[in-house]
Amino acid sequence: MGQFLSFSGGVVGIKLLTSTLGPEGYGELALGMTIAIVLQQIFYGPFGQVAFRYYSIYRQKNQLNIFFDALKRIGLWSIAIFVLISLIVGYFAKITISNKWFYLIIFASLFGILDGINGILIALQNAARQRKVVAFFQGLMQWARPLAGVTAVILFSRNGQTALAGFCVAMVFITAYQGKFLGKVGFKSKTDSERSYKDNIYKNFFNYGYPFLIWGIFGAVQFSSDRWILKYFFSDREVGIYSVMYQIANVPVLIIGGILSQFVTPILFEKSNIVNKKTIYRLIKQLNFFLIIIMGFLLIGYYFFSLEILTYIASNKFVTYHRYLPLILISLTLFLITQNLTIFGSSLLNVKVYIFPKIVLSLNTLLLGFLFTYFLGFKGIIISSLIANIIYFLHVIYTNQFLSESHKV
């Protein structure tokens, strides 16, 4: 039910926002969302990975109260720091570019902070296997954000920053509502006798999380450079068209990836402490096999009905490059498969080995994206992404082979 809510909300959200904003306005919204992506990638994504991985560890130690207290402290400090940075950057943009960019940066930053906190709560609930709660909030989020964004656009102004303001309002209520469920995963108040554990827990968090932070810096380049490359060579219109195609291709990928993270990954992490690592790697391969079968069927539909899909979900204003939709789906599927392969290193508490492949992926995405778009036009950004993900896939396979040999798996 939750996955159906996520899917239907994502599709309806695209339809509502594209209908009210058009390609240019949607492109502006997409550029603003890259700011939120930066916050997610460089901090809240790594923070969520730490929360997800260490929940089961501290639960087994009966120290969840220490765990939650540390998460809360880090979260509060992050909010204060990022709000201050966004105000400084926004003011600089206002005096050097225009008022539009001030509001775009402020609302995008606020949305990034709220979405990041929400992501951490979802990571905790996934780790605690509160699957119904996670599915409910993911579905609610997919519906609430576009509805609030469209309402703001209709009431105030038809532009990207107004839609982002609506997103922020929705996320305030969703995050506050979701926070109430933390008590159901073992939150307790801090006691003086637990203070001695603090330094150790922060050290554990940092040692596990800093590779994700490095990933995130380059991941921000990977997930946002394509929009800015298109903005450089074309205009907001092409950014909007590409963003819609990317989202439509990404909807099934996100849903399937969400199912895996809710139902499978927590079990793998718990079993990684008690079973042979060779069994873990075999299960990951089986997961990817089923993923390939599912996405193969979807690819057939995207190939034969790309024009109809874009017309129905968005509008005929977004169909100019419809024939490239299957290539985007292949690229995103390959990235998800590769991310699943990195679970193997996480189960060994060794994610540092994936830093270099992630750096190579990000640099390839940026450099190949710029070169291919320069020579091939719009389709160049899509082809370059596919090539970059193929290289990433091969790189991670090689890395896992190295891990297997070094751990005698």
Tell me the pLDDT tens digit for each residue of 362-371: 999 999 999 9
Tokens of 229: 């490359």
pLDDT for residue 198: 54
On the 0-12 / 13-18 / 19+ scale of CB atoms within 10 A, 355 is middle
Predicted confidence band of residue 15 (pLDDT cuts 50, 70, 90): very high
Number of domains present in the structure of the chain: 1
**What whole-number percentage of the chain has pLDDT above 70?**
87
pLDDT over threshold 70, residue 41: yes
Q: Which of 232, 221, 243, 236 is nearest to 373 (CA)?
A: 232
Tokens of 31: 């550029």
Among 243-247, 249-253, 299-303, 361-365, the minimum mean pLDDT is found in: 249-253
pLDDT for residue 80: 87
- Answer yes or no: are the C-beta atoms of 20 and 158 closer than 8 Å: yes
Top-confidence residue, 255 or 2: 255
Tell me the pLDDT tens digit for each residue of 67-119: 888 888 887 888 888 888 888 988 898 888 888 889 988 999 999 888 888 88
d(CA 144, CA 190): 34
Which residues make Cβ contacts (< 8 Å) with residue 88, sequence separation at least 6? none
Nearest 5°: phi and psi at 405? -70, -40
Report the 10 Å Cβ neighbour count for 273.
Answer: 10
Report the 10 Å Cβ neighbour count for 122.
Answer: 23
| Residue 184, H or E segment | none
Give the highest mean pLDDT range of 31-45, 186-200, 279-293. 31-45
- Answer yes or no: are the C-beta atoms of 67 and 241 closer than 8 Å: no
Helices 45-60 and 64-96: crossing angle in degrees, nearest 10, is 170
pLDDT for residue 191: 45
Ramachandran category for residue 301: left, alpha or beta (phi over 0 → left; psi -120 to 50 → alpha) = alpha
Mean pLDDT of the chain: 84
Tell me the pLDDT tens digit for each residue of 153-172: 999 988 999 999 999 999 99
Tell me the chain's radius of gyration from C-alpha atoms.
21
pTM for the predicted model, two decimal places: 0.82
Helices 99-127 and 131-155: crossing angle in degrees, nearest 10, is 160
Among 48-62, 264-278, 279-293, 389-403, the minimum mean pLDDT is found in: 264-278
Q: Which of 6, 98, 15, 33 is nearest to 239 (CA)?
A: 33
Tokens of 127: 């780790």
Predicted confidence band of residue 408 (pLDDT cuts 50, 70, 90): low
Q: Which amino acid is at 172?
A: V
d(CA 399, CA 281): 13
* pLDDT (mean) for 132-152: 85
Report the 10 Å Cβ neighbour count for 233.
Answer: 15
pLDDT for residue 189: 43
Tell me the pLDDT tens digit for each residue of 270-311: 655 555 666 677 777 777 888 889 889 999 999 999 999 999
SS3 content of the chain, % helix, strand, coil (to 5): 90, 0, 10
Q: Which of 195, 192, 178, 196 is nearest to 123 (CA)?
A: 178
Q: Which of 242, 253, 373, 256 is nearest to 310 (CA)?
A: 242
Q: Which domain holds residue 292?
A: 2-406
Q: Give the dihedral sign, CA 333/270/4/26.
A: negative
What distances in angstroms separate CA 388 from CA 95, 207, 219, 264, 360, one per listed residue? Answer: 37, 28, 13, 27, 9
Q: Which of 169, 170, 185 is nearest to 134 (CA)?
A: 185
The residue with tokens 């989020």 is 141
* DSSP per position, 53-106: HHHHHHHHTT-HHHHHHHHHHHHHHHHHHHHHHHHHHHHHHHHHT-HHHHHHHH
d(CA 283, CA 268): 8
d(CA 12, CA 83): 31
d(CA 245, CA 335): 17
d(CA 347, CA 266): 10
